[in-house]
Structure 1
Amino acid sequence: MNLPNVITLSRIVMIPVFVVVFYLPMEWSYMVSAAIFALAGITDWLDGYLARKLNQSTPFGAFLDPVADKLMVAVALAVLIEGYAAVLLTIPATIIIGREIVISALREWMAEIGSRASVAVSYIGKIKTTAQIAAIVGLLAFPPGNFWAYVAIGLLYIAAALTLWSMFLYLSAAWGDLFPKAESRQGEV
């Protein structure tokens, strides 16, 4: 166990704390839940930075980091869907969650067949993640109906569009493995 892995694990530990704070019947729960999510976003960057800088990358960390990210985002979007109870927020949130499931399954399958590198994290994925974190922090910080909450919903739509674009890029990179040409399969009988 090293420092980057401890930081990654802290993101998972933050999830139940985040949920409890979000549902507290206090005025400050919006801002504090937003701060917890923002802290999780910072630790996402920090653990990767430290793993590279300290040369402490591990297979466990490589596995755990995307799991922690996806759990935190999915839980945050789930509580926001319930909290806002509006189709305006539900549409981009379900696109984002659905994409994460598709790409996780694709990466697992590509790793199984030895083509994991063709579905590596792309630059557009990093931009998508930044927009997504900013949108979720805004949605958590401001209650439904607040002007800034609508701005954050707009940002969530941008994140959802980038999500679809990055999914398209991943699927395009894997297309040849998903649908091998008929002539290459004829010799495999």
Structure 2
Amino acid sequence: MSACYMLENCVRAPTAFGAPSHGDVLAQVLLYAPNVVGYFRLGLLVAGVGVACVSSNFELCWWLFFVNFILDGVDGALARRLNQTSSFGAFLDVIVDNASRGVLWTWAVPGPFGVLPPLMEMLTFVCTHKASGAQWRTGFFANAPWWVQMVMKNGFKTPPGIVAVIGLMGCPLWVWALKHLPNTVYSSLWVGAVTVAGRLLAFSVELWVLKRYMAMLLKEDSR
């Protein structure tokens, strides 16, 4: 019997004395397997920054961020597999994602240009969740253009969606590697071509989100 299976049944099972208390439920949510992965990812972020600042071992730092980004897909899969979705977990996932990518962008690109990508990501998160809440993937994009729907369809499980996710995760890592790991496979041109293309695709979706949300606000004001 796997640890995840035991955790799932532990969370779902009522106590012998009736329904679990609020504190018990809160503790269970905090220990959901996807949330534990989120804590580990946060630790990888802190470790990556620490390694780069203290030892300047940029290759190790790259791998810490790479594993961090790979685990971004693991927590979502665990949440669906174990039925352990939570508002806290969704928030934690977004915070770790944006913090990790934001650190790399601002680290690698000086000035306001390094702030733009994480700012766009956070604005997109705010707009979609403000408009559609937890159902943002379906509600907000219901009447989107075909190319936006192709990216978002089936939780990014389409060729355009996969390319966009690779761009979101990989482009800041590649740009960072250009500065700290030049002339290596980590900063190779073919990696850059794929990740930049994906990030531009994601950027086009972000622009559409902002445009649609502003149109929604103006429509409300005109009533």
Q: Which bracket does the TM-score occupy, shorter chain normalised?
A: 0.7 to 0.9
Deviation at 1:52, TM superposition (A): 0.5
1:130 aligns with 2:166: yes
Write the letter of the residue equivalent to 2:202. Answer: T
When structure 1 is superposed on structure 2, of 59-68 and 32-41 the one drifting more is 59-68
Which residue does 1:31 correspond to in 2? 59
Question: How far, CA to CA, are the matches of 1:32 and 1:78 in structure 2?
Answer: 19
Name which of structure 1's ranges 66-75 and 158-167 shifts more when overlaid on structure 2: 158-167
Whether the 8 Å contact between 1:22 and 1:30 is mirrored in structure 2 is yes
Aligned-partner Cα distance in 1 for 2:124–2:61: 27
Q: CA, structure 1 residues 80+176, in 2 after alignment: closer, same or farther (shift >3 Å)?
A: closer
Show the counterpart of 1:62: 90
Aligned to 1:179: 218
Aligned residues: 174
Distance 1:72-1:66 versus aligned 2 partners, 3 A rule: same
The share of aligned pairs that are identical, in percent, is: 21
Tell me, what secondary structure is at the counterpart of 1:110?
A: helix
* Separation of aligned partners in 1, 2:35 and 2:135: 26
Confirm or deny: 8 A CA contact 1:99 1:163 kept in the other structure: no
Larger radius of gyration: 2
Once the two structures are superposed, the pairs formed by residues 28-177 of structure 1 within 5 Å of their partners are 29-81=57-109, 91=113, 93-111=114-132, 116=136, 117-118=139-140, 122=152, 123=156, 127-141=163-177, 143=180, 145-146=182-183, 148=185, 149=187, 151=189, 154-155=193-194, 157-177=196-216
Distance 1:95 1:126, change over 3 A: farther
Structure 2: gaps of 5 or more residues? 1-30, 143-150
RMSD of aligned Cα (Å): 3.2
Greater relative CO (CA pairs within 8 A, separation 6+): 1
Distance 1:61 1:115, change over 3 A: closer
